[in-house]
């Protein structure tokens, strides 16, 4: 039966965010699911070639806000398992690459519908439990953003495929959007379930097959998403989920001649390490691997004297402390004119010190715990460093408690040193460092903001003065890939604010946009000539007066 037809992916809209207000049915049902998942120790297998697989041993996953509570056991795979994942991806490649685009897109659209409906509570609850997100943070990430990734990517890929060359009447020119020749390695971070869902599926949508290594802390939700994708119709071997030592997985995967791309989100350090290894192995690959990495940030809030103090304060609190500051886009340094800072800091400190924090199962909390002991220790050390320093002063928070979970109170530090370490380094926790700059030094402080950190992910300017906004926008043109005017630097929405940064923050391939999807195809140009030439001679050669003999 013919399948001809220019099928168009339905125009997407952003998934509506549920409010989970007290007394509502969605709140009750997500709570039930959370209790259900909390009461069991889930088993988290690897999935290779569509088969659930055990490793050589098992390890337990703990909840960040109750670190003695085992929520799941995951498999520690061996090099044999990782090689099996590469082989399974290569085996599935031909069939998946030959599957028509609308069939591949339909899998993602169905996955989006399953996540919006019957799977929503499960994926949200697993994110709350495993990553210590409040229901709101889980909802905007694990449900809405991932649904948006799947729906919008299908739509953007459809648009990409429709970009075709011109034809001049003698031939029909076409662009075929082939998948890359080989397999893609997807590696995701702990902090966004949606990124874990997007990194393997974006290349898969374009016809690639994938070896997928989720962040260990997210293995519970990652394996649930794998089940969801299977239910949506993803064929075996298209996405192969492995777990175990990241270094061992990479050793096997990066050595394979068929590595065709890496889709990474995580720290700058790990991405640079992957890039170096690929560089060292360059001679053995059949094709140049595409390297796409979105990495760290030291995101700024740059404040002009004309800023509205109330919206600034709310942006600082939400931008710096939602999800415990563990967003790559979290506000972690602010430049505020001294006079404005003096007027606002007591109010800011009072509001920050009141922020409710604890187990996300208690819906009154605004914050949960940081992800693990290493993250906790990093915050403890940073706070101790600031307390010791004569150039810094604690304005709010500074209290940590690891008796039950990895809890770090939201912390505001003020420094008189524009090169203070905490203004430069990514801490990835709930610490905001403020540099109050001398009134009148706006332009110099723009320069300072631009050069203080190696990152360039997100940043915000707060001002009501139009000229100041324009000046900041120009002067900070390369300081952020996502630039906000009078808004917090977090909360990018798929389809509305394509996300990614430059400098040490990544390759800026804008996840959830057509720019990212382009990286997962290797276009083939086809020219089909209607009436091929039958003689090699050109008319210019036919001049009878030209002297004979050539040269
Ligand atoms: P991470 O770099 O520690 O880990 C990311 C992933 O890399 C994990 O799956 C980890 O197991 C894996 N990994 C570690 N060593 C590896 C190796 N040798 N080979 C292959 N994989 C390896 O980062 P994280 O703590 O999970 O996430 C936080 C970081 O991610 C922060 O730096 C944050 O800024 C960044 N991030 C960036 C964005 C963005 O869009 N720019 C989004 C989210 C997170």
Ligand 1 nearest atom to the CA of residue 296, by list position: 34
The residue whose C-alpha atom lies closest to atom 11 belonging to ligand 1 is: 215
Q: What is the CATH number of domain 25-295+506-526?
A: 3.40.605.10
Q: Would you state the structure tokens that stand for residue 487, as one six-digit string? A: 């808004």
Kindly compute the dihedral angle of the four CA atoms of residues 199, 200, 204, 210, in this order, to the nearest 10 degrees.
Answer: 140
At residue 549, the pLDDT reads: 60
Mutation choice for ligand 1 from 254, 267, 510, CB with most ligand atoms inside 8 A: 267
d(CA 208, CA 410): 42
Tens of pLDDT along 270-280?
999 999 999 99
Domain with CATH 3.40.309.10 in the chain: 299-498
d(CA 543, CA 404): 94
Give the Cα-Cα-Cα angle 210, 491, 268 (nearest 5 degrees): 50
At residue 1, the pLDDT reads: 61
340 in Cβ contact with 373 (< 8 Å): no
What CATH superfamily classification does 299-498 receive?
A: Aldehyde Dehydrogenase; Chain A, domain 2 (3.40.309.10)
Closest CA to 211 of 81, 75, 61: 81
Q: Residue 237: left (phi > 0), alpha (psi -120 to 50), or beta?
A: left
For 183, residues 6+ apart whose C-beta sits below 8 A from its C-beta are 86, 89, 90, 93, 208, 209, 210, 211, 256, 258, 259, 260
Mutation choice for ligand 1 from 270, 493, 507, CB with most ligand atoms inside 8 A: 270
At residue 316, the pLDDT reads: 98
Average pLDDT along the chain: 97
d(CA 447, CA 17): 38
Give 220 Cα–ligand 1 centroid separation in angstroms.
Answer: 17
DSSP 3-state percent helix, strand, coil across the chain (nearest 5): 40, 20, 35
d(CA 430, CA 375): 11
d(CA 363, CA 359): 8
Report the SS3 class of residue 539.
helix
The residue whose C-alpha atom lies closest to atom 39 belonging to ligand 1 is: 294
Give 271 Cα–ligand 1 centroid separation in angstroms.
Answer: 8
Predicted confidence band of residue 548 (pLDDT cuts 50, 70, 90): low
For 217, residues 6+ apart whose C-beta sits below 8 A from its C-beta are 61, 64, 130, 131, 190, 371, 372
Domain with CATH 3.40.605.10 in the chain: 25-295+506-526
Mutation choice for ligand 1 from 77, 133, 266, CB with most ligand atoms inside 8 A: 266
Indicate if the pLDDT at residue 550 is higher than 90: no
- The residues lining ligand 1, judged by C-beta closer than 6 Å to any ligand atom, are 187-192, 195, 213, 215-216, 246-247, 250, 265-267, 270, 273-274, 294-297, 328, 426, 428, 457, 499, 505-506
For 537, residues 6+ apart whose C-beta sits below 8 A from its C-beta are none
Give 50 Cα–ligand 1 centroid separation in angstroms.
Answer: 26
> What is the residue whose two structure tokens read 């997962």?
520
144 in Cβ contact with 136 (< 8 Å): no
Give 186 Cα–ligand 1 centroid separation in angstroms.
Answer: 11
Tens of pLDDT along 117-163?
999 999 999 999 999 999 999 999 999 999 999 999 999 999 999 99
Q: Residue 530: left (phi > 0), alpha (psi -120 to 50), or beta?
A: alpha
Report the SS3 class of residue 151.
helix
Tens of pLDDT along 324-376?
999 999 999 999 999 999 999 999 999 999 999 999 999 999 999 999 999 99
Closest CA to 107 of 197, 215, 223, 176: 197
The residue whose C-alpha atom lies closest to atom 30 belonging to ligand 1 is: 266
Q: Active-site residues: which are they?
A: 294, 328
At residue 5, the pLDDT reads: 93
Give 426 Cα–ligand 1 centroid separation in angstroms.
Answer: 13
Ligand 1 nearest atom to the CA of residue 271, by list position: 2
At residue 394, the pLDDT reads: 98
Give 189 Cα–ligand 1 centroid separation in angstroms.
Answer: 4
Question: Which residues is 487 bridged to in the sheet?
Answer: none
164 in Cβ contact with 175 (< 8 Å): yes
d(CA 198, CA 145): 9
Ligand 1 nearest atom to the CA of residue 274, by list position: 19
At residue 357, the pLDDT reads: 98
Ligand 1 nearest atom to the CA of residue 187, by list position: 9
Supply φ then ψ for residue 470, to 5 degrees: -65, -40
d(CA 38, CA 31): 10
Tens of pLDDT along 230-267?
999 999 999 999 999 999 999 999 999 999 999 999 99
376 in Cβ contact with 370 (< 8 Å): yes
The residue whose C-alpha atom lies closest to atom 23 belonging to ligand 1 is: 266
Indicate if the pLDDT at residue 513 is higher than 80: yes
296 in Cβ contact with 504 (< 8 Å): yes
Tens of pLDDT along 9-62?
999 999 999 999 999 999 999 999 999 999 999 999 999 999 999 999 999 999
């Amino acid at each position: 039966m013919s399948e001809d037809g220019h099928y168009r992916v339905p125009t997407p809209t952003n998934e509506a965010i549920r409010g989970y207000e007290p007394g509502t049915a969605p709140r009750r049902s997500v709570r039930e699911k959370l209790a259900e998942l909390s009461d069991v120790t889930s088993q988290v297998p690897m999935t290779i070639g569509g088969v659930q697989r055990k490793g050589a041993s098992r390890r337990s996953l703990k909840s960040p806000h109750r670190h003695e509570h085992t929520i799941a056991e995951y498999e520690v795979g061996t090099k044999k398992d990782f090689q099996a994942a590469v082989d399974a991806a290569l085996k599935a490649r031909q069939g998946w690459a030959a599957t028509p685009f609308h069939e591949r897109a339909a899998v993602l659209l169905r996955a989006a519908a399953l996540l919006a409906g019957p799977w929503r509570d499960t994926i949200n609850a697993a994110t709350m439990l495993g990553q210590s997100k409040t229901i709101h943070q889980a909802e905007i990430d694990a449900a809405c953003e991932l649904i948006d990734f799947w729906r919008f990517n299908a739509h953007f890929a459809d648009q990409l495929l429709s970009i075709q060359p011109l034809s001049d009447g003698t031939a029909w020119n076409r662009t075929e959007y082939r998948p890359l020749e080989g397999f893609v390695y997807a590696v995701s971070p702990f902090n966004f379930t949606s990124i874990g869902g997007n990194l393997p599926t974006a290349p898969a949508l374009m016809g690639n097959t994938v070896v997928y290594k989720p962040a260990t802390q997210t293995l519970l939700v990652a394996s649930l998403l794998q089940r969801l994708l299977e239910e949506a119709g993803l064929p075996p071997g298209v996405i192969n989920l492995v777990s175990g030592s990241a270094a061992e997985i990479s050793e096997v995967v990066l050595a394979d001649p068929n590595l065709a791309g890496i889709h990474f989100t995580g720290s700058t350090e790990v991405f640079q390490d992957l890039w170096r290894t690929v560089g060292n192995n360059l001679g053995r690959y059949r094709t140049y691997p595409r390297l796409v990495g979105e990495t760290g940030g030291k995101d700024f809030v740059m404040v002009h004297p004309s800023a509205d103090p109330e919206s600034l304060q709310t942006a600082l609190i939400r931008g710096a402390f939602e999800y415990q500051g563990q967003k790559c886009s979290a506000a972690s340094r602010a430049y505020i004119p001294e006079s404005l800072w003096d007027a606002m800091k007591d109010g800011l400190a009072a509001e920050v010190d009141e922020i409710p924090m604890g187990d996300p199962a208690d819906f009154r909390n605004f914050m949960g715990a940081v992800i693990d002991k290493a993250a906790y220790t990093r915050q403890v050390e940073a706070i101790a460093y600031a307390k010791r320093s004569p150039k810094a002063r604690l304005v709010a928070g500074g209290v940590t408690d690891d008796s039950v979970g990895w809890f770090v109170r939201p912390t505001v530090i003020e420094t008189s040193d524009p090169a203070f370490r905490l203004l430069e380094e990514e801490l990835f926790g709930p610490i905001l460092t403020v540099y109050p700059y001398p009134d009148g030094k706006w332009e110099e402080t723009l320069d300072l903001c631009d050069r203080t950190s190696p990152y360039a992910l997100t940043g915000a300017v707060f001002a009501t003065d139009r000229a100041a906004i324009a000046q900041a926008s120009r002067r900070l043109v390369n300081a952020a890939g996502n630039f906000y005017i009078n808004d917090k630097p977090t909360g990018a929405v798929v389809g509305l604010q394509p996300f990614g940064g430059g400098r040490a923050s990544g390759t800026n391939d804008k996840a959830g946009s057509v720019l990212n999807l382009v990286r997962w195809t290797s276009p083939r140009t086809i020219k089909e000539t209607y009436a091929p030439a039958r003689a090699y001679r050109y008319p210019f050669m036919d001049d009878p007066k030209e002297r004979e003999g050539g040269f």
